Amino acid sequence: MPVINVDDLTDKDKAVMEVNQLKIEIKLERWLTSKCCEEIKEYIQAGVDEDTLFKGISEEKNPFKEKGGCVIC
Amino acid sequence: MGEMEQLRKEAESLKDQITAARKAVQDSTLQEAAAGITVVGRIQMKTRKTLRGHLAKIYAMHWSTDSKLCVSASQDGKLIVWDSVTTNKVNAIPLKSSWVMTCAYAPSGNLVACGGLDNMCSIYNLKGKDGNVKVMRELAAHTGYLSCCRFISDTEIITSSGDCTCILWDIETGTQKTVFAGHQGDCMSLAVAPDFKCFISGACDFTAKLWDIREGTCRQTFGGHESDVNAIGFFPNGNAVITGSDDATLKLFDLRADQELITYQDSSIMCGVTSLAPSLSGRLLLAGYDDFNVNIWDMLKAERVGKYMWKLYIPLENGRKVDPAEDSEGSCRVAAGTEH
């Protein structure tokens, strides 16, 4: 879509645009949802160990840990 | 039959055909695929940092790709770049217009952008020669408010607007490269795909649209929400889209199946979703709501596994995800890590 001025479009122009868009979308090749769900599940399970929010993180490794006081030896 | 009526009937018929085509590939649900998986245990969030400095509502924030710096935009008329680890303010940029609604950090870390009721997207160079942060470009062409902006690179940015369009800009020349028209309501938010080839937009016409950046075309439209889509994001692998709506639900749409896989809802939640962010693996989904709460969802089991109540809360997850909520006290809180 090149640069168009949306304000110049009439209601009919917009209706034609909508029909043309639907004609494009109808042609889509769709995957079975079973395949998609399996993929999502596998992706999550593969990444879960690295997911800090899920697994947690040790205090030492946490960049946002509260800093301790100073100790003078 | 008038022309308009004919077009309307044709659109309805095409929509019915698309619905049928989607049903034809619907051989399983995410619940079924995740049946053997145990729900995530209760997640407790712990506030780690509080970034204080803004004097009015904070409308937006965006992390830098380094996961340490972030930029926030407030209606006190300032854009602040924070070092989230030290809580220091790296830059405090005064804005021409204080009615800011969105901000963005460029992947390179060199630029930030913001915009709002001024209908413009202003680009600021953080790495100017004399050390001063100045407006580099003002991108003006939208005839409605700027709801969201996201950088593709230092030379290109995409904006979404209340004028129902999204625009791809050439930052150097300050001109529009492509106008993405098709939404029938205000565009509220956008997100760029991990491979930078596509972007998604959520709008007040209750739909989300997937756009091809180079072709300039809309590839897919996702309906199902019963109200405005305020928040949108990609699932980490780039093959699915997560939306958050005023209808109090979030939905996961798969791009290849071209349909919704699951809805995240609870009868006790009655207010709109304002923002969302999936965790690194995609197992957890953080969602900010109109009542200033953040709910944490198990994305596979569609169950709520945590809740964070605060006046303002911005959770950090490996520094990559944001979940901003409005703050009435003028301070911005970032929390990291989980406490099990």
- Transcribe B223-266 into DSSP letters: ---SS-EEEEEE-TTSSEEEEEETTS-EEEEETTTTEEEEEE--
B323 has pLDDT over 50: no
Is the ipTM higher than 0.90? The answer is no
Q: What is the pTM of this model?
A: 0.90
Nearest residue on chain A to B214, alpha-carbon basis:
A1
Is residue A60 less than 8 Å (CB to CB) from chain B? Answer: no
User: Residue B281 and residue A34: Cβ atoms within 8 Å?
Assistant: no
Residues B123 and B171 sit within 8 Å (Cβ to Cβ): yes
pLDDT in tens, B167-207: 999 999 999 999 999 999 999 999 999 999 999 999 999 99
Beta partners for residue A50, in sequence order: none
B66 has pLDDT over 60: yes
- pLDDT bracket for residue A67 (50, 70, 90): low
Q: With beta carbons under 8 A apart, name residues in chain B contacting A26.
A: 14, 17-18, 21
pLDDT for residue A15 = 93
- Among A5, A10, A11, A36, the residue to mutate for chain B (most B Cβ within 10 A): A36
**Residue B328 Cα, gap to closest chain A Cα (Å):** 25
Of A15, A47, A63, which is closest to B85 when you measure between CB atoms?
Answer: A63
Q: With beta carbons under 8 A apart, name residues in chain A contacting B337.
A: 52, 56-57, 62, 64-65
Q: With beta carbons under 8 A apart, name residues in chain A contacting B236.
A: 43, 47
B310 has pLDDT over 60: no
**Residue A67 Cα, gap to closest chain B Cα (Å):** 10
Of A7, A12, A31, which is closest to B256 when you measure between CB atoms?
Answer: A31
B318 has pLDDT over 80: no
The three-state (H, E, C) secondary structure of B127-196, written as one string: CCCCCCCEEEEEEECCCCCEEEEEECCCCEEEEEECCCCEEEEECCCCEEEEEECCCCCCEEEEEECCCC
pLDDT for residue B274 = 92
Both tokens of B264, joined, read 């995240």
User: Residue B177 and residue A57: Cβ atoms within 8 Å?
Assistant: no
**Residue B264 Cα, gap to closest chain A Cα (Å):** 16
- pLDDT bracket for residue B329 (50, 70, 90): very low
pLDDT for residue B170 = 98
- pLDDT bracket for residue A3 (50, 70, 90): low
Over residues B274-300, mean pLDDT: 91
Query: Of A3, A71, A39, A18, whose CA–CA distance to B178 is shortest?
Result: A3
B322 has pLDDT over 60: no
B313 has pLDDT over 70: no
Q: With beta carbons under 8 A apart, name residues in chain A contacting B259.
A: 30, 33
**Residue B103 Cα, gap to closest chain A Cα (Å):** 24
User: Residue B33 and residue A34: Cβ atoms within 8 Å?
Assistant: yes
User: Residue A31 and residue B177: Cβ atoms within 8 Å?
Assistant: no
Q: Output B10 or A59, whichever has higher pLDDT.
A: B10
d(CA B135, CA B174) in angstroms, rounded, equals 12
Is residue A43 less than 8 Å (CB to CB) from chain B? Answer: yes
Query: Of B121, B125, B162, whose CA–CA distance to B143 is shortest?
Result: B162
Among residues of chain A, what percentage have pLDDT more than 70?
Answer: 82
CA-to-CA separations, A66 to A53, B19, B85, B308, B337, in angstroms, rounded: 18, 53, 10, 20, 12
B229 has pLDDT over 70: yes
B327 has pLDDT over 70: no
pLDDT in tens, B1-32: 689 999 999 999 999 999 999 999 999 999 99
Angle (CA) B66 B282 B30, round 5°: 165
Residues 6+ apart with CB under 8 A from B95: B73, B77, B78, B79, B114, B122
Residues B231 and B274 sit within 8 Å (Cβ to Cβ): yes
pLDDT for residue B209 = 98
Both tokens of B222, joined, read 């996702």
d(CA B71, CA B79) in angstroms, rounded, equals 7
